[in-house]
Chains A and B, each alone.
Chain A
């Protein structure tokens, strides 16, 4: 029998307003309309009021039983808004969200803890807030405290706990809910390493038991440990929905481009200077390609427009990632390659042999110079973005991960 999905997000749109005064006024109007029942969903293109924009556009996906998806994207891309709608805290402006069974949320662990009361009292309160009955908590109490490893201090007031202990207790309570759908927001990167490992182990067990999980995180390196699928949000839209590693690569590529984009172009004040008009990555066979494997060769084809014949030119190519500054910089002078621009368009190719990088996203900064040290023409950021999508990395301690694959052997 075909199982209905646990979560169905159907063509969801959500408006948002950053201006406080306007936002309050719109809130008041929405209140009036909803209280009087005269609210009518408008056609989307007319529905935006001044100062509003769509924080989520056309989101559409399903989550089957026992799947863990990572919701990723740059800040302000709409992930958290999406999560709030799934959690039922706010309503979509268009479309619908249906959820089968009970939803649990791990958001800001320990929300509602009272510092004056003991850990024991707070476990009961937190459990009740999350929808557990007293006898459920009675039944699970020892497991919860054991999971949090706080048996020795459970009767002390919470304010004597360290932040790590509070988070452990918060996670332990929430983790013992038995929801069909578990929503997690940025709670993976908390606690000490040992406890984090325990959480991952626990999440994997939940997934095996058929619990569906949505987790929002910026720590994408941790995703492969639990997630089996990634949804990437960019400017409110879903731009990728698929396997974890290519998804992470897409996300990092988009970060790499954004990182290098401010400002996108720096150029000399001279009006006539050579300009980079296109940058494209090609595979070894010379065909345009953006997805590579570790160890592949990559050719970067640059198109430069020159106002006249210029000799003894220099080209500097910097390679950067989402999380680092430049990781490699190459000047044509290094291999004594001379460059001469002809009037009009010129093409030049740089081949990088055996890309040493592991799964991730990358982009180039291209700088054009004349013969002298200070003959600067222009620099363009975030060019020729590409991704390494495989082979799979392993962040759980049974393989390799990081930025590059180091050739190595053991003796």
Chain B
């Protein structure tokens, strides 16, 4: 143990940490860095523990988007609704791509709350870098996304979807989409921890939100800039990411650029909110 370690002084006082944002940010960065080993351990722990008691194992990662896609394809085949997918692109590939992206977004959105709830005992009793739980959660969301994205490989091959170099931007945009969901999840997390209404509201809203997001239908050109797109954080990046794989050319839209640029500042803000709220929430957790 270094002398620095033994002489390091920690002071706890009532003054809000946000009054020293530089110290706060440095603390977050340091904890994320020092807890990377812990995050990795927790990630492996969950991965190993998650499917050990199931018969179908990893198949459970694939099933939700597959089932969702199957239902919509079935409905469309029955003529319940019409889908005019892009020329040369199969409906299956179109819906499946959207579903996988949507799933990653809502996984990331719900992750911070879920992680803290699962580890309530540890969080309320031990002082460890809580950011490690978030890093582990992000890893989990991205791992699941990657596995599901593998579904696209046989789908593309079967439906003979033409590929272009813009597909290389797909992971970048998907990552931005996940980070955006994560940031929103972080910002909702403190209120959601105090009031379960938030969690219930999200569950209630999710199906409508999915319908409002152009996953099972194609948004007409004229609606590309409608307020419905602007007001739906999931839509712009999701649409843009899908265009990158399914369209032959890069189709940037203004909302996607704006949301893309806003994502990182939002993540930083979310991490600040998370850090500041932790002691206050722990106090109320035991109440």
Contact = CB atoms under 8 A, between A and B. Distances in A.
Interface of A: 16-18, 20, 23-24, 27-28, 30-31, 33-39, 41, 84-85, 87-103, 105, 107-108, 111-112, 114, 116-117, 121, 124-125, 128-131, 133-134, 178, 180
Contact of B280 (A31, A41, A88, A96): A31
B191 A28 contact: yes
9 shortest interchain CB distances as A-B pairs: A128-B38, A37-B18, A27-B284, A96-B13, A23-B287, A97-B12, A34-B16, A90-B283, A101-B6
A121 to B, nearest CB: 7
Given A17-B287, A101-B7, A116-B53, A35 B127 contact: no
B114 interface: no
Interface string B230-252: 00000000000000000000000
A108 B123 CA distance: 12
A23 B284 CA distance: 7
Nearest to A36: B18
A19 to B, nearest CB: 9
B204 interface: no
B274 to A, nearest CB: 10
B119 interface: yes
A96 B11 contact: yes
A382 B11 CA distance: 42
A102 B127 CA distance: 11
B76 interface: no
A245 to B, nearest CB: 31
A134 to B, nearest CB: 6
B49 A31 contact: no
B171 interface: no
Contacts of A39: 14-16
B45 A91 contact: no
A108 B127 contact: no
Contact of A103 (B125, B127, B284): B127
Given A30-B280, A117-B48, A111 B122 contact: yes
Given A99-B12, A117-B48, A129-B128, 11 more contacts: A24-B195, A24-B284, A31-B194, A31-B281, A38-B16, A90-B279, A91-B279, A91-B280, A103-B10, A111-B126, A129-B38
Interface string B210-247: 00000000000000000000000000000000000000
B267 to A, nearest CB: 16
10 contacts: A24-B284, A27-B284, A28-B194, A35-B190, A39-B14, A93-B14, A95-B13, A97-B11, A97-B12, A117-B48
B122 to A, nearest CB: 5
B282 A100 contact: no
Nearest to A99: B10
A229 B124 CA distance: 28
A108 B125 contact: yes
Contacts of A130: 126, 128
A297 B94 CA distance: 93
B9 A98 contact: yes
A111 B128 contact: no
B5 to A, nearest CB: 6
A41 B14 contact: yes
B230 to A, nearest CB: 26
B19 to A, nearest CB: 5
A117 B45 CA distance: 7
Contact of B281 (A27, A92, A101): A27
Contacts of B48: 116-117, 121
Nearest to B5: A102
B200 interface: no
A28 B273 CA distance: 13
B287 A20 contact: yes
A98 B11 CA distance: 4
A101 B7 CA distance: 5
Nearest to A24: B194
A215 to B, nearest CB: 15
Given A17-B287, A27-B284, A125-B41, A112 B14 contact: no
Contact of A111 (B18, B53, B121): B121
Nearest to B12: A97
Contacts of B287: 16-18, 20, 23, 27
Candidate in A84, A91, A124 with the most chain B CB atoms within 10 angstroms: A91
Interface in B50-102: 52-53
A35 B191 contact: no
A68 B194 CA distance: 37
Contacts of A88: 10, 12, 127, 279
B276 interface: yes
Candidate in B119, B125, B282 with the most chain A CB atoms within 10 angstroms: B125
B26 interface: no
Given A27-B280, A111-B126, A117-B45, A34 B38 contact: no
B160 interface: no
B71 to A, nearest CB: 33
Contact of A90 (B15, B19, B191, B282): B282
B24 to A, nearest CB: 10
B277 interface: yes
